Amino acid sequence: MLDEANKFHPNIKLVRQIGRNAPFLDVFIQNSNEALITSVYHKEAAESYVAPFGSDHPDHVFRNTVDTAITRGVRYSTTLSQFEEEIRQMKLMFFYNGYLPRSIDRRLTKLFSKYLSKHFICLTPPWGPQSSDLCAGRKFNVIGISEVRWTGKGETPSGDFIWSGEDTTHTRGVGMLLSAKAKKTLIGYNPISSRVITARFNATPFKLTVIHVYAPTSASSDDEIEIFYDSIEHALTQTPKKDIIIVTGDWNGKIGSDNTHWESVMGRYGYGDRNERGDRLLEFAALHNPYICNTRFQQKANRKWTWASPDGVHKNMIDLVLIQKRWKSSVTNCRTFQSADISSDHSLVLCNIKLRLKRRCIKPQQYHRADVSQLKSQKVREVYQTRLVNRLQDIDTQCILEEHAAKVEEAIKEALQATVTTTRRVKKPWISEQTLNLADEKRKMKQIKNVSAENGQLYKNLCNKVKKSARQDKDNWIQDKCNEIENGLKIGNTRQAYSLIKTLKKNFVPRITMIRNQDGTMQQSKEGVKQRWTQYYSGLYKDEGGGDEMVKELEGISPSYKEGPQDILYSEVEEAIQTLKSNKSPGSDGITAEMIQAGGEQLTHEIHSLCNKAWHKGVIPEEWGKSILIPIPKKGDLSECANYRTISLISHTGKILLTVLLNRLKRHLDPYLSEEQAGFTQDRIIRSRKQNDHTAKTHI
């Protein structure tokens, strides 16, 4: 086992000694004279180190060993896969020394929770399958991306990518790719410009603000440089003082390796020579007191430079990570990974920081959509009606309205859940296995492309093959969708066919979660955005008193109605149920029109009873009065509430009562409508009315 352990790490040599022992990374534990001690044996590439233990207590040994192992494992591992292998060896070491497996996992989870890895990279989206595979194979929380070249600003529907770009041109742009954990802790973000974006996360001991930037190139004017740094300073002033601030990105400036007179903002381990843009960056750092993490740790040259020219001759360190000076001790490592294949002339920069992200909210409830299309089957519908009748019979119809409505709703849901299965949308990736394999070959070839000219040509050929294969996969996916559309039209399934057509034709619309307040300031936090929408809709639907005056005016001119309030008839409820539209989203109660229409006579009687209770008491159940307001973007600035139109999703059970009342009003109103009245009148269209008038004037 020792021989195998000595093979997988280039900087470590483990030596067998007398006593109870086991191999592990660069820490070796042995039992001598009933006392636990440690020894570390390195090759000449690394310095010797002995982990200090405060006592021989097993918990102290475990904690100190893990801390030492992680710190040195990150520093001396050449790839993340090697680091994961070292962690596995660490588990084996504790297992062979008498620790229980369950205890090992529990303690490791507790100790690892304080280590947060942040990977910041610079690449040019749209990224392909190889970039997605990169993120899947590496542990990260936040990835900063420069030169995104996406227009507009916002976030993807899944919420894992936020960006800020130009309005019309595909230039510049910055963004952040978030892990599942970081996405849950995100408080808000602010797309300041196409060169600066900020994001705030809930963390301990303080909240974390990440600012990602893309600096102007050396060809830009001094005025543009000053505007860029002014926008960063504005972002810093808007950040709460207690926050931990990290600034990352492509600075397009070389700070060099000489830190003379700049010891307070950079370390001794820089790279290359300094230029004018680098001097401006150091002046900015000296003014705002951040520290450049890339220069703090001694690394090999290929772990320092972050950009290489196309010919591979010129290499610079221009992608930098800055952190507040008082938090620089939390940074455990900062290095470049040249092996990461991100299809860019920049390299992946990784920064490990001791920090813990803290979830802001309770895990959301998982909703599974029932496949109501199964109710079209006569056999399934009969089973559903039988189970529904058994549950409705237990309801006391003499109870109060609110309780009665809740019991009917619960009976419908339970009967449906016991009858039909749930559906889950599975998004099939359009990329093929062949393309992914080519991307893996390209990633391996990238590490040796500079060895010879032949390898460089092979790497270029593989890049072209990956692009060509990805385009072919996309064409095949579109062709498959077209075949599905054709088959759907042949069998008469027009709904599915037009749904697929909409999928192919629709353009990408970013999701905007930031909304401006009435004073024009940007509201970033989720709670603040909710309050702003509540304020906007309250003002939009607020009755200023004109409604009451209109009612009084109508009462004065309306004909007298001598009949008293009549009960709602069973036939009226039955007619209203049949007119409910299918394939419509439910309200807050989750009950669809199909569930009511397939309920049978017993459910119709229950709803009839509910409608009469509400009609005579003049109140409706609370659930019937709830609406789910969905803002749909229109044109213009989507950070303005006024640039959205709204649809409301209300309870289908409540729609039945509304339909009954509407039909009654129509019967009394229709005799008073003139023939010329076309607006807001059923079976009359304003356009047709205008066409008829034009025809009459022309031909008569």
Q: What is the four-CA torsion angle of 385, 388, 392, 393, rounded to 10 degrees?
A: 70
Task: Assess whether 50 and 189 both reside in one domain.
Answer: no
Cα separation, 277 vs 348, in Å, equals 22
Give me the domain span that covers residue 91: 2-112
- Specify if 535 maps to a domain: yes
Task: Assess whether 119 and 103 both reside in one domain.
Answer: no
Q: Nearest Cα to 390, choosing from 364, 423, 412, 362?
A: 412
Question: Stretch 100-126: mean pLDDT, rounded?
Answer: 49
Total domains in the fold of the chain: 5
Q: Nearest Cα to 607, choosing from 649, 575, 564, 650?
A: 575
Task: Assess whether 585 and 478 both reside in one domain.
Answer: no
- Specify if 366 maps to a domain: no
Task: Assess whether 313 and 178 both reside in one domain.
Answer: yes
Name the helix (H) or strand (E) containing 538: helix 526-540
pLDDT category at 37 given cuts 50, 70, 90 is very low
Exposed e or buried b per residue across 60-81, where buried means at least 16 C-beta atoms within 10 angstroms of its C-beta: ebbbbbbebbbebbbbbbeebe
Task: Assess whether 93 and 147 both reside in one domain.
Answer: no
pLDDT in tens, 659-684: 999 988 888 777 777 777 766 677 66
What amino acid occupies position 319? D
Question: Stretch 329-353: mean pLDDT, rounded?
Answer: 84
> Do the Cβ atoms of 288 and 237 come closer than 8 Å?
no
Instruction: Please count the other Cβ atoms lying within 10 Å of the Cβ belonging to residue 514.
Output: 21
Task: Assess whether 78 and 90 both reside in one domain.
Answer: yes
- Beta-bridged to residue 271, according to DSSP, are 256
- Specify if 486 maps to a domain: yes
> For residue 629, what are the CA distances in angstroms to 533, 537, 544, 590?
10, 9, 21, 15
Task: Assess whether 392 and 344 both reside in one domain.
Answer: no
Cα separation, 375 vs 381, in Å, equals 5
Exposed e or buried b per residue across 134-148, where buried means at least 16 C-beta atoms within 10 angstroms of its C-beta: bbeebebbbbbbbbb
- Specify if 338 maps to a domain: yes
Task: Assess whether 164 and 225 both reside in one domain.
Answer: yes
% of the chain at pLDDT higher than 70 = 72
Q: What is the DSSP letter of 589?
A: T
> Do the Cβ atoms of 281 and 253 come closer than 8 Å?
yes
- Specify if 699 maps to a domain: no
**Average pLDDT value for the chain:** 78
> For residue 535, what are the CA distances in angstroms to 297, 513, 531, 532?
51, 16, 6, 5
Cα separation, 514 vs 533, in Å, equals 11
Q: Nearest Cα to 514, choosing from 637, 355, 645, 378?
A: 637
CATH code of 198's domain:
3.60.10.10
Q: Which residues contact 38 (CB under 8 A, 6 or more apart)?
A: 27, 28, 29, 30, 50, 51, 53, 65
- Specify if 485 maps to a domain: yes
- Specify if 87 maps to a domain: yes
Task: Assess whether 334 and 454 both reside in one domain.
Answer: no
Question: Stretch 340-355: mean pLDDT, rounded?
Answer: 82
Q: What is the pTM of this model?
A: 0.62
Q: Identify the weakest region by mean pLDDT among 110-124, 460-474, 615-629.
A: 110-124
Task: Assess whether 95 and 140 both reside in one domain.
Answer: no
Place of tokens 């450049």: 292
Task: Assess whether 288 and 347 both reside in one domain.
Answer: yes
pLDDT in tens, 266-284: 999 999 899 999 999 999 9
- Specify if 382 maps to a domain: yes
Task: Assess whether 325 and 380 both reside in one domain.
Answer: no
Q: Which residues contact 134 (CB under 8 A, 6 or more apart)?
A: 340, 341, 342, 348
